[in-house]
Amino acid sequence: MMNFRIFVFATLAIGILSSGNAVAAELKVVFVDVKSAIENTQQYRNGLQHLEKIKNIKQKELEKLRDNINQMDKDLLNQSMAMSPGKLAKKQQKINDMKKAFQRKLQDAQEAMTMERNRLLQGINMKFSKKIKALGKQKKYDYILTRPSVLYVNGVHDITADVTKILDAGK
């Protein structure tokens, strides 16, 4: 059923696009690579730099904690023969607790980075949507197609660079 719908849609699209020079001449179809347009904006690049700073800070914190855990593991290994079973168990429990805390902090850091990246993309995507609609109306485009839906694009019809400039200008 889905293949039939795709076939019907493709047939109609081909029919419309090839139904005559008059229709084809009036139809204004352009292409934009959304990913490229967004990733080349100054806002996105600034956001990535901010994310990189956050990542580096969190990474240093986690490395310090990991090094501390590794040192405690070495110390325990070196001193385990001289420790009483009770003290040995306490030290092992402390190291295990620190390892769990490390895993939680690692997971929290990953979630924080994902949330920050999503926040960055959400802001840019909302702006992109508004700007692309305004551009379509202003330039009187009939269709603005995106990368996944197009197999080939003549560079003349690619407006990705224009969209990036509009996004950067419309802060």
Residue 71: predicted pLDDT: 95
* Residue 19 counted as domain residue: no
Q: Tell me the pLDDT tens digit for each residue of 98-116.
A: 999 999 999 999 999 999 9
pLDDT in tens, 129-168: 999 999 999 999 998 988 777 788 888 888 989 899 998 8
Q: Please give the tally of structural domains in the chain.
A: 1
| Domain membership flag for residue 150 | yes
Q: Is the residue at 4 inside a domain?
A: no
Domain that holds residue 30: 25-169
Which position has the higher pLDDT, 20 or 47? 47
Instruction: Indicate whether 143 belongs to any domain.
Output: yes
Q: Which has the closest alpha carbon to 17: 157, 161, 118?
A: 157
Q: Is residue 18 part of a domain?
A: no
The amino acid sitting at 43 is: Q
pTM of the predicted model, to two decimals?
0.67
Nearest CA-CA partner of 170 in 128, 109, 119: 128
- The answer to whether residue 54 scores a pLDDT higher than 70 is yes
Question: Of 28, 29, 52, 47, which is closest to residue 167 (Cα–Cα)?
Answer: 47
Question: Per the structure block, which two tokens stand in for 120?
Answer: 């960055």
Q: In CATH, what number is assigned to the domain containing residue 135?
A: 3.30.910.20
Q: What DSSP state is assigned to residue 170?
A: T
Tell me, what's the pLDDT at 2? Answer: 47
- Alpha carbons 115 and 108: distance in angstroms, whole number: 10
Percent of the chain with pLDDT over 90: 56
Per-residue pLDDT at 7: 47
14 occurs within a structural domain: no
- 27-33-38-39 Cα dihedral, nearest 10 degrees: -160
Q: Helix or strand or coil: residue 83?
A: coil
On whether residue 9 sits in a domain, the answer given is no
